[in-house]
């Protein structure tokens, strides 16, 4: 019994140590992101070095790379974090996929530190081709995840689900368009409300899956349905010979 008590205590202590370590790592990562943002702003992306960032963040370059992987991923760390947050929301299959997306974009909009900091970050991104490519890759990954979720919700194969792919593309592109417009307007308007309005607009214009497929059946026909149709045509042709 005494041994069991020691084991339980050791397990509790171990869990607390892991939680403490995770909090320290999270603080160190956030500090590195803040330091990097300041150095990128002051010196420019190309002139900034990982050595300088690591020194100012009071960590080694190897630790910096362990957290972020590269200087490009460090510069876009907030966007990568948003992608991971999006994936967590999309994985919650207790809600319709569109609602999962709505929950995510509200969280994303509310997490912005300030208009000025986000504006500076976007200016940095558009000035560096490598960062633009990485941002495009992040958005494509987001679109892929969303399209797969729509396909799963409908019980169809993702490769055959043009409706889900189209809806995902419109939602991701629409969200990006809102952020660009918000920046160009000087931060006017409620960002979260604007993003949600785009979701409603896309859903209204595209229509439900059933209505859209019924309206343009040839465009949204699955491979299986197409093969069945081809088989039927061949059978009919053979009978008429």
Please count the structural domains in the chain. 2
Domain-embedded: residue 238: no
What whole-number distance in Å separates Cα of residue 54 and Cα of residue 16? Answer: 28
- Smallest Cα–Cα separation from 108: which of 26, 19, 176? 176
Tell whether pTM > 0.85: no
Domain-embedded: residue 132: yes
State whether 153 and 197 are in the same domain: yes
State whether 129 and 56 are in the same domain: no
Contacts (Cβ under 8 Å, ≥6 apart) of 143 = 165, 168, 169, 172
Q: Per residue of the chain (241 residues), what is the pLDDT tens digit?
A: 444 444 555 555 777 877 888 888 899 999 999 999 999 999 999 999 999 999 999 999 999 999 999 999 999 999 999 999 999 999 999 999 999 999 999 999 999 878 999 999 999 999 999 999 999 999 999 999 999 999 999 999 999 999 999 999 999 999 999 999 999 999 999 999 999 999 999 999 998 998 888 888 877 765 544 444 444 445 555 555 5
Domain-embedded: residue 191: yes
Helices (H), 94-190: 97-110, 115-127, 129-154, 162-184
Helix count and strand count (H, E) for the chain: 13, 0
Indicate the burial class of 178 (C-beta count within 10 angstroms; 0-12, 13-18, 19 or more). Answer: buried
Q: CATH number, domain at 22? A: 1.10.10.60
State whether 117 and 39 are in the same domain: no
State whether 24 and 10 are in the same domain: yes
State whether 108 and 161 are in the same domain: yes
Domain-embedded: residue 53: yes
State whether 145 and 92 are in the same domain: yes
């Amino acid at each position: 019994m005494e041994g069991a008590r020691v084991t339980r205590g050791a397990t509790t202590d171990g869990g607390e140590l892991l939680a403490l370590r995770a909090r320290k790592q999270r603080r160190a990562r956030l500090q590195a992101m803040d330091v990097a943002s300041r150095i990128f702003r002051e010196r420019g992306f190309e002139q900034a070095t990982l050595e300088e960032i690591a020194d100012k963040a009071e960590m080694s370059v190897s630790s910096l790379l362990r957290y972020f992987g590269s200087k490009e991923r460090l510069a876009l760390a907030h966007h990568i974090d948003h992608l991971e947050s999006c994936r967590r929301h999309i994985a919650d299959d207790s809600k319709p996929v569109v609602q999962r997306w709505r929950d995510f974009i509200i969280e994303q909009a509310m997490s912005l530190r300030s208009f000025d900091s986000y504006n500076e970050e976007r200016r940095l991104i558009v000035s560096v081709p490598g960062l633009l490519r990485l941002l495009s890759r992040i958005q494509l990954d987001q679109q892929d995840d969303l399209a797969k979720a729509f396909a799963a919700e409908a019980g169809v194969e993702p490769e055959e689900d043009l409706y889900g792919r189209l809806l995902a593309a419109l939602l991701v592109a629409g969200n990006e368009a809102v952020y660009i417009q918000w920046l160009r307007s000087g931060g006017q308007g409620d960002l979260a409300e604007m993003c949600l309005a785009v979701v409603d607009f896309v859903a209204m214009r595209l229509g439900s899956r059933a209505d859209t497929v019924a309206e343009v059946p040839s465009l949204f026909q699955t491979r299986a349905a197409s093969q069945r149709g081809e088989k039927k045509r061949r059978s009919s042709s053979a009978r008429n010979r």
